[in-house]
Amino acid sequence: MRIALLQADPTVGDLAGNAARLLALVHQAVEAGASVAVSTELGITGYPPRDLLMSPEFVRAAYEKARSIDPAIPTLVGTPVPGQDDDTAPANGVLGVGEGLRGKVVALKQLLPTYDVFDEARYFRPGSRPGLVRGAGGLDLGITVCEDAWQAAGLTPMDYGVDPVAQLATFVRQDATLSATVNLSASPFHQSKVHDRVTVARTAAERLGMPFLLANQVGGNDDLVFDGSSVAAWPDGTVVLAPAWSEGVLTVDLDDPAACVWTPSAAADALHLGSNEVRVLDPGESPRSQNSAEDLADAVVTGLADYCRKSGLQRIVLGLSGGIDSAVAACVAAEALGPSAVHGLALPSRHSSQHSRDDARWTATSLGMRFSELHLDALHAPAEGLLDEVLRTGHAVAGENLQARLRALLVMGHANAEGAMAIATGNKSELAQGYCTLYGDMAGGYAPLGDLWKMDVYALAEVFNARAEARGQPAPVNASTMTKPPSAELAPDQVDEDTLPPYPVLDRILRAHIEEGLDHDAIVARGEDATVVADVLARMGRNEHKRWQMPPAPRVSVRAFGQGWRMPLAGRHDWRD
Amino acid sequence: MRIALLQADPTVGDLAGNAARLLALVHQAVEAGASVAVSTELGITGYPPRDLLMSPEFVRAAYEKARSIDPAIPTLVGTPVPGQDDDTAPANGVLGVGEGLRGKVVALKQLLPTYDVFDEARYFRPGSRPGLVRGAGGLDLGITVCEDAWQAAGLTPMDYGVDPVAQLATFVRQDATLSATVNLSASPFHQSKVHDRVTVARTAAERLGMPFLLANQVGGNDDLVFDGSSVAAWPDGTVVLAPAWSEGVLTVDLDDPAACVWTPSAAADALHLGSNEVRVLDPGESPRSQNSAEDLADAVVTGLADYCRKSGLQRIVLGLSGGIDSAVAACVAAEALGPSAVHGLALPSRHSSQHSRDDARWTATSLGMRFSELHLDALHAPAEGLLDEVLRTGHAVAGENLQARLRALLVMGHANAEGAMAIATGNKSELAQGYCTLYGDMAGGYAPLGDLWKMDVYALAEVFNARAEARGQPAPVNASTMTKPPSAELAPDQVDEDTLPPYPVLDRILRAHIEEGLDHDAIVARGEDATVVADVLARMGRNEHKRWQMPPAPRVSVRAFGQGWRMPLAGRHDWRD
């Protein structure tokens, strides 16, 4: 028996488009010999629909659209399920459509994650029993929705007091007709996520004594990026892993892991990055064989590509300083939209070095994107003239920011004139320190590197260089860009280390604080210098205002339960006294 | 017997400061003859603490700080109550401190609002029974926390299936020793909120057959504004209403409504706007006697004043165009921080009319604030020169935005140099239509008019003019500013009505859509022109990106359950096909 996992890339809110996408994937599943198909969580709305779910009209429209799907084989579709009236919250459910299922609700999600990027208790009422469908393509299947399966593996941040996998196991002991249990997921990417997802699937398969099949969403929606990597696990620990960063169908042969087939989506706009191959893991084998930086590169490219496609944006403009961040951002944009859709602007000022100008031009030329150079002097001098008095008497930062804002003015002028989106090129390390200019280099509709630490940006430069060389093209990030001391070049001979600790140190401290939640003393106990840690944390507090005005960035380096960008809006005062 | 309602203006996260503020208010309550004091909801942390509550260390610190308060009379303090371990969510509770209470938890909030601006299911586990304290200053009291009392009045957007007021009423029938029931609230302002709050208090007093006393937070925290207006109601419908927009203590004599006393806070930085008088309402008398525009003016002044004070901002810079929005924003800033802390910049371009320049100068001069005029030409021409090619060949909006961004550059230059915050002057009507420039007139750390419809801005101009005249000063908003056709002055002879419908029409359509959730057909059924409605809604969709990059604004015109600025982040596609 073959079950197809529809690893789709839906667009939040595009009910008709998502339904059409699901039907097309079911068609491919039929050709691959599947007798049942399973969508991802909330496959009809895309995940996360957020406050769209506050509209009863939207919930009803989604539910009716899901019910209207008429697939060639029985299919389980993730959909919001309306409450009994408009005052009752919907459930996060699963609908059976196609032969023998006829639009019946077969599962309601029980565990509603409400932490980090999740807010499901805001939107949904929980289900109260395990999902189940009988006679779907001749099979009886257990059904879980995403978080439902994570409690059993101990990978949720709290104990829900309910374990849907254990409930199903009890049920199986009483009535042994189930062939497999499926899971409809929308499980966002972070760097160790594939490992966790495989652990969840193996744990559930072992507890249930049957294959456990998890269909995960792929692609980007707003600031969330999903890697796909749908997974099937058997009770002995054998695992079949679908590719990451690609839309398609994993057709799982319940009796033969080696016979599982990956069919890439035939949609014209389908996402296809990465290896595009199924991997079979032996019992006990870890899934962490891929290069982590390759994965990060695919994540940020996916995020930007889907953000643009789903928002109807076809062109990108960015400033190229000759530094590592804008060079890597240009690589991301060129891979996401194709180099001909990207326009790089070098905007040197009197403080810019010749090597920076050369490096900027090199990156654009190597990538094959459009390149322009406009010298800032013609604007810089009159702006300083107009602001002469305050620049002489006020804080020095005003003059430094002036250059960054003049550049933003020119980037946005090009973006507006060309109907393109400007992207911001900052990374998470400098943004967390406020080492950036509001309405200057922070300007842009999207910040592709905004959730990457500075050291990750260096690693991505290596990835994009290697990819270019593998295509027989010149490496877009010059060796000099990689090795020169990072500098904002906003004042003569300025380097970042005048203000910040060296990036390897800064990244260690920020990761400990943001990803692990450690405070000053705990970080110092790891061997960091107490003054440096105090300075870093103080800069974080002072720059909260800036962080909240950041354009969206794909979430890629946030570990499970980490705070990421969702820093408290309030809390300007230290509460530890 | 006298119970003091501590109508405090806490700062989110400032545990030590909030505890000191509470103690000082208790001291004033003792002087007013109170034998028990009641804080607002989460009085120790301030409301809303948002994701600070995700930190178990913060929750423990808050709880311990609340327990450490040692007041002269028994006091009920709102505080998060830690779960049994770090994996268990805290409760939104009430602690008894002072004589006879000794740090015991006496209530846990049962109804956790999770809609519109509220997200309490994200943070808290609910309580399961009504709160109660015995022997507090000789009294037994029922205790509820904010939303707990709203179900009984039918003023929640959903049926929680639990009614803490009904639970208390049952308890009272069994054990009639309660003298009163209190409610610790943090209930944000909107235009009909006082009416709702009085209805809640009257309903509870009637159902319980005893006085019902509600202590409400006052002041601004981030984007929420609280009006105070604490209330005491008796079973016969008599009501005592504390002033809005003022910190202080309402000491309620349970036996004599006419003997209730308002004591303004003696803190040096205390908020004191509005009438500062207690009002006594007869049974059946409506609380809506205040001028609604006066209330809105106080709300936006409070929002900006507290945002600055709590963020440590002491100076404001803004651009003055000579139009109604920037004139009213200047009035708000001058009233919030005092005119000497505000710097108005007129930044005329070649498209600016002489009357606009005159009006800008008039506003600044009348208010007594610092005023500078810098002509944009010196920058405008070189910027157009640098962008010459794209301005000639690209979308016309690029040229219009250029001026707005040059102005932002100069405003931010002054703000950075002077250590001030720039404020954005846009209103909700134009922002909802995208009739504004990203990184241009939208730049600023705070948008005081960002939640006001355009017609509200006109009403506020009248209020500030009347206030100035009452002080014997010239009216800051010129008659010509009020009567001339609104214009962005970004192109020759441009007026807003070239692009937008007349503001009275636009506001009606936007209110119907945003506040009431009506769609195109429902709005047309009210008599609006179908094409106009379609255009307005289409502009809303296209400008979602801009709305999400808005600086915070006080929430003032959002009606209960309205969406306000919390529009869905996703949903770029129409889901109604």
**Chain A contact present for B308, CB below 8 A:** no
State the catalytic residue, choosing from B57, B64, B104, B109: B109
The C-alpha angle with vertex A117 and arms to A111 and A120, in degrees rounded to 5, equals 35
| B12 touching A (Cβ < 8 Å) | yes
The token pair that represents B197 in the structure block: 């709050």
Query: Nearest CA to CA, how far is B489 from chain A (Å)?
Result: 18
B109 belongs to the catalytic site: yes
Cβ(B423)–Cβ(B333) under 8 Å? yes
Q: Which of B88, B222, B551 sits opposite A569 (nearest CB)?
A: B222
Strand partners, B144: B183
- Distance (Å) from the C-alpha of residue A464 to the closest C-alpha of chain B? 30
Beta bridge partners of A183: A144, A214
Pick the residue from chain B with its C-alpha nearest to A408.
B439
Chain B interface, best mutation among A151, A558, A575, A576, by max B CB count within 10 A: A575
The tokens describing A87, both together, are 């005052």
Please name the member of A16, A114, A577 whose beta carbon is closest to the beta carbon of B122. Answer: A114
On whether any CB of chain B is under 8 Å from the CB of A68, the answer is: no
- Written as tens digits, the pLDDT of chain A (577 aa) is 999 999 999 999 999 999 999 999 999 999 999 999 999 999 999 999 988 898 898 999 999 999 999 999 999 999 999 999 888 899 999 999 999 998 999 999 999 999 888 999 999 999 999 899 999 999 999 999 999 999 999 999 888 999 999 999 999 888 768 999 999 999 999 888 899 999 999 999 999 999 999 999 999 998 899 999 999 999 999 999 999 999 999 999 999 999 999 999 999 999 999 778 999 999 999 987 567 899 999 999 999 999 999 888 899 999 999 999 999 999 999 999 999 999 999 999 988 899 999 999 999 999 999 999 999 999 999 999 999 999 999 998 899 899 999 999 999 999 999 999 999 999 999 988 888 888 999 899 899 999 999 999 999 999 999 999 999 999 999 998 888 888 888 788 888 888 899 999 999 999 998 888 888 999 999 999 999 999 998 888 654 433 334 455 555 543 323 232 322 222 223 333 3
In B, which residues are within 8 Å of A158 by CB distance? 87-89
Res B432: pLDDT? 86
Q: Are A99 and A136 in contact (CB under 8 A)?
A: no
Q: Which helix (H) or strand (E) holds A93?
A: strand A91-97
pLDDT for res A334: 98
- Omega within 30 of 0 (cis) for the link into A474: no
Percentage above 90 pLDDT, chain B: 75
CB–CB of A572 and B15 under 8 A?
no
Q: How much of chain B is in helix, strand and coil states, percent to nearest 5?
A: 40, 20, 45
Say whether residue B84 is in contact with chain A using an 8 A CB cutoff: no
Asked if B573's CB is within 8 angstroms of A11's CB, the reply is yes
Residues of B in contact with A439 (CB under 8 A): 408-409, 412, 439, 443
Average pLDDT over chain B reads: 90
pLDDT in tens, B108-149: 999 999 988 899 999 999 999 989 999 999 999 999 999 999
Catalytic annotation, pick one of A41, A206, A247, A515: A41
- Is A20 at the interface with chain B, CB within 8 A? no
Contacts of B390 in chain A (CB under 8 A): 413-414, 417-418
For residue B5, give the amino acid letter.
Answer: L
Task: Select the residue of A13, A157, A391 nearest B571 (Cβ to Cβ).
Answer: A13
Q: How far is CA B383 from CA A379, A383, A397, B403, B440, in A?
A: 6, 10, 22, 9, 15
Best-predicted range by mean pLDDT (A42-46, B497-501, B515-519, B542-546): A42-46
pLDDT per residue as tens digits for the range B324-342:
999 999 999 999 999 999 9
Long-range Cβ contacts of B514-519 (<8 Å, 24+ apart): B514/B432, B514/B562, B514/B563, B514/B564, B515/B557, B515/B558, B515/B559, B515/B562, B515/B563, B516/B562, B517/A55, B517/B562, B517/B563, B519/A57, B519/B576
pLDDT value, residue B351: 87
* CA terminus-to-terminus distance, chain B: 63
Strand arrangement of the beta sheet that strand A421-422 belongs to = A370-373, A342-346, A316-319, A421-422
Q: In sequence order, which residues have a C-beta less than 8 Å from that of residue A290 and are 6 or more positions away?
A: A194, A244, A275
Can you give the pLDDT at residue A551? 54
Among B169, B289, B144, residue whose Cα is nearest residue B229: B289
Per-residue pLDDT at B190: 87
Contact A378 B382 (CB under 8 A): yes
Look at residue B73 and give its three-state secondary structure.
coil
pLDDT tens track for B539-550: 886 544 343 344
> Which pTM value belongs to this model?
0.92
Cα A450 from chain centre: 11
Confidence at B553, pLDDT banded by 50, 70, 90: low
Q: Which of A120, A146, A294, A528 is catalytic?
A: A146
User: Confidence class of residue B312 from pLDDT cuts 50, 70 and 90?
Assistant: confident
What is the percentage of chain A residues whose pLDDT exceeds 90? 75
| Residue A65 designated active-site | no
Residue B157 has a pLDDT of: 85
Residues ≥6 apart with Cβ < 8 Å to A520: A530, A533, A534, A537
- What are the tokens at A201? 């699937």
- Which of B149, B155, B193, B190 lies closest to B167 in space, CA to CA? B149
The pLDDT tens digits of the residues spanning B67-87 come to 999 999 999 999 999 999 988
The shortest CB-CB distance from A87 to any of B49, B159, B401 is to: B159
**Contact assessment for residue B191 and residue B294, using Cβ atoms and an 8 Å cutoff:** no
Name the residue in chain B with its Cα closest to that of A412.
B398
- Enumerate the H helices of B175-312 as residue ranges: 193-208, 292-311
The answer to whether A373 is a known catalytic residue is no
Do β-strands A239-241 and A279-281 pair in parallel, antiparallel, or remain unpaired? antiparallel
User: What was the pLDDT predicted at B549?
Assistant: 43
Selecting from B11, B378, B408 the residue whose C-beta is nearest the C-beta of A573 gives B11
* A576 neighbourhood in chain B, CB within 8 Å: 61
Q: Do B439 and A412 touch (CB under 8 A)?
A: yes
Report whether A188 contacts A226 (CB < 8 A).
Answer: yes
pLDDT (0 to 100) of residue B546: 40
Q: For residue B192, name the pLDDT band (cuts at 50, 70, 90).
A: confident
Q: Do B570 and A49 make contact, defined as CB atoms within 8 angstroms?
A: yes
Residue B417, chain A, CB below 8 Å: the answer is yes
Residue B152 has a CB neighbour count (10 Å cut-off) of 21
Query: CB contact, 8 Å: B235 with chain A?
Result: no
- Chain A: closest CA distance from residue B99 (Å): 25
Q: Do B221 and A11 touch (CB under 8 A)?
A: no
Residues of A in contact with B114 (CB under 8 A): 121-122
ipTM: 0.90
Give yes or no for a contact between B391 and B360, defined as CB atoms under 8 angstroms apart.
Answer: no
The verdict on A549 touching B (C-beta cutoff 8 Å) is yes
- Looking up tokens 């405070």 gives A519
Strand order of the sheet with strand A131-136? A131-136, A139-145, A180-185, A212-216, A231-233, A239-241, A279-281
Task: Give the C-alpha separation, B215 to B1, whole Å.
Answer: 17
Q: Which residues in chain A touch residue B517, judged by CB atoms under 8 angstroms apart? A: 55
Please say if the pLDDT value at position B265 is more than 60: yes
Per-residue model confidence (pLDDT) at position A423: 94
Chain B positions touching A545 (Cβ under 8 A) are: 311, 445
Please list every residue in chain A whose beta carbon sits closer than 8 Å to the beta carbon of residue B404: none
CA–CA gap between residue A205 and residue A180 (Å, rounded): 9
